[in-house]
Structure 1
């Protein structure tokens, strides 16, 4: 698998595999899978050449990190990149107070506690190191500093201010001491990521969607800023929650909700152009973000061996340059979107 070297600070570079592995699904997101199924899925990812694994305390309320523990135990620590997240830690609670009910299944009985302070960040790191069973984490992302999770711009701004006043200093110190290689934020919207980049010294952002075949508004100001400052982008959600994988079918999802008709119509037009060039929609969707120099890895995730193997095959598909040209000429892709 191809590697992308990222190095913002001299001597502190990381080699990302173009295809990373997001672990939300092995945290029993939407449906439970067994420990053995999760382990086989992770091993299948390794066998494809994947060497970047992203996780978070939220994913299965610690379950994803615990399952990574078993998988990583037999691996040389220098052979892979590992990222996890801070901003919420976990605590034991009564069963009826468990977080993620209806979203994560068969998880430990824990509740999430948002805490973007210095102490909260350090507590979260300590818990993650224990669950992961490793002695170091390469990248730490402040998790979910966005409107999607906090409900309003005002509530988000309070969280952003709290983080920059306290938790940010913890991450900056850990990086400066060489305890971690890099830090950033894992966010569902590009606007707060840009705000953070303008107010601090960030290395990487994990952006869930927001730069896909359907959404390129980040090209206005955010991605140029990242390019200027050497900030890398890990792109999660390349299928916009599903519609760019399934196509414009009934019940397709777009950004965590049912896709509206205007989105389905646009996807149908994009798919028609793809078919003209003998390319599947899902292949174009997975490859598109990697055309941007700031993007270091795409992490679609997977809940089974077959899904992991399919992701590798999808990324390996041959896509003619003329596909991107036609998408632009038909107004389906921004003219300034980087393409081969």
Structure 2
């Protein structure tokens, strides 16, 4: 397939509007056979998807190893992102893996956003990947919703005052990486990041989707003003937009289930699969460069590609707007603004 390419911030990078997120391949919330994980990466490359995102946190090194093996022969054709902010500490003997990972590598994550830790994390990622470079480096999972106010203040100080941001700027300014940003589930911390300086891209999961547009203002507006791009992770909101019952990595509350039911009803009226609408919706915003769902198998990937190919009538978006499903100011694929 041919995918539209969009420029990432003011960098020279152009990424496809559909990428591959690789958290699920490492056993996020459900077991994934290694053969399926490897086959999914190969199928994505064959389909023309040439933006792949991974992180040390995903399976505590497992995702990076799988991705590195999968892309090494075609590295020059791809744009690759990974993340910093966690170091991996080895574990010995039986232990219960935290964060819902199924059969991860024998490590746990240790948060550290200081200068030395970011440099070490980046070097460790290159070794796990078995590659000599990545294109985009994101600061991973910082923010009050993730850590709580008191703990986040300590970690933010590492990024802001103990050289974390300085390390990222050095890596970008000397050409070691082409773009820097943050990869998080909460948009509020990204507004704080703008106070530190300039960024090229943000990977934001779940906060600008068919179901939720909480980041529209002021975050996405600020991205336009500051010429930073956004990659949308979790376009299905953890599964609720593909017919599952999970939202934000847990069981969806009743108000979310009700809203999804309305979305599903509108899609059904037009004969459109709800996941197809979920994939296409975020890309209408001018700040958004790509969406990166996380299939676990080649079959799931093919389903995503089938949804991607669906031509969605403008009436779908207008009907959803009439039912109050979008935040004020939301641009619609029909060309209208709510």
Query: Structure 1 residue aligned with 2:91, among 86, 90, 93?
Result: 93
Structure 1 residue 133: Cα displacement: 1.0
Secondary structure at the residue paired with 2:241? helix
Q: Provide the C-alpha distance between the structure 1 equivalents of 2:254 and 2:33, rounded to a whole number of angstroms.
A: 37
Structure 1 residue 97: Cα displacement: 5.2
Secondary structure at the residue paired with 1:217? coil
1:184 paired with 2:185, answer: no
**In structure 2, what is the equivalent of residue 79 of structure 1?**
77
1:108 paired with 2:101, answer: no
Structure 1 residue 335: Cα displacement: 4.1
Conserved? CA contact 1:20–1:51, under 8 Å:
yes
Q: How does 1:1-340 map to 2 (within 5 A)?
A: 1-9=2-10, 12-75=11-74, 77-96=75-94, 99-100=97-98, 103-150=100-147, 152-165=148-161, 166-246=163-243, 252-340=245-333
Conserved? CA contact 1:97–1:111, under 8 Å:
no
Cα 1:197–1:70, aligned 2, differ >3 Å: closer, same or farther?
Answer: same
Q: Provide the C-alpha distance between the structure 1 equivalents of 2:59 and 2:45, rounded to a whole number of angstroms.
A: 21
Secondary structure at the residue paired with 2:5? strand
Runs of 5+ in structure 1 lacking a partner?
A: none
Conserved? CA contact 1:99–1:112, under 8 Å:
no
Conserved? CA contact 2:8–2:289, under 8 Å:
no
Q: Provide the C-alpha distance between the structure 2 equivalents of 1:318 and 1:284, rounded to a whole number of angstroms.
A: 9
Q: Provide the C-alpha distance between the structure 1 equivalents of 2:281 and 2:8, rounded to a whole number of angstroms.
A: 22
TM-score computed with the length of structure 1 as normaliser = 0.93
> Once the two structures are superposed, what CA deviation does each residue of 1:2-46 show, in whole Å capped at 9, x if it has no partner?
23221533xx32121111111112212223333322111111111
**In structure 1, what is the equivalent of residue 336 of structure 2?**
none
Secondary structure at the residue paired with 2:204? strand
Q: Provide the C-alpha distance between the structure 1 equivalents of 2:96 and 2:247, rounded to a whole number of angstroms.
A: 27
Per mean C-alpha deviation after superposition, the further-off stretch among 212-221 and 50-59 is: 212-221
Per mean C-alpha deviation after superposition, the further-off stretch among 77-86 and 196-205 is: 196-205
Cα 1:15–1:261, aligned 2, differ >3 Å: closer, same or farther?
Answer: same
Q: Provide the C-alpha distance between the structure 2 equivalents of 1:96 and 1:27, rounded to a whole number of angstroms.
A: 19
Secondary structure at the residue paired with 2:73? coil
Runs of 5+ in structure 2 lacking a partner?
A: 334-338
Cα 1:122–1:98, aligned 2, differ >3 Å: closer, same or farther?
Answer: farther
Q: Provide the C-alpha distance between the structure 2 equivalents of 1:78 and 1:232, rounded to a whole number of angstroms.
A: 22
Q: Provide the C-alpha distance between the structure 2 equivalents of 1:256 and 1:25, rounded to a whole number of angstroms.
A: 12
TM-score computed with the length of structure 2 as normaliser = 0.94
> Once the two structures are superposed, what CA deviation does each residue of 1:62-116 show, in whole Å capped at 9, x if it has no partner?
01111112111211x3211000000001122223556436x21222211211110
Q: Provide the C-alpha distance between the structure 1 equivalents of 2:5 and 2:285, rounded to a whole number of angstroms.
A: 12
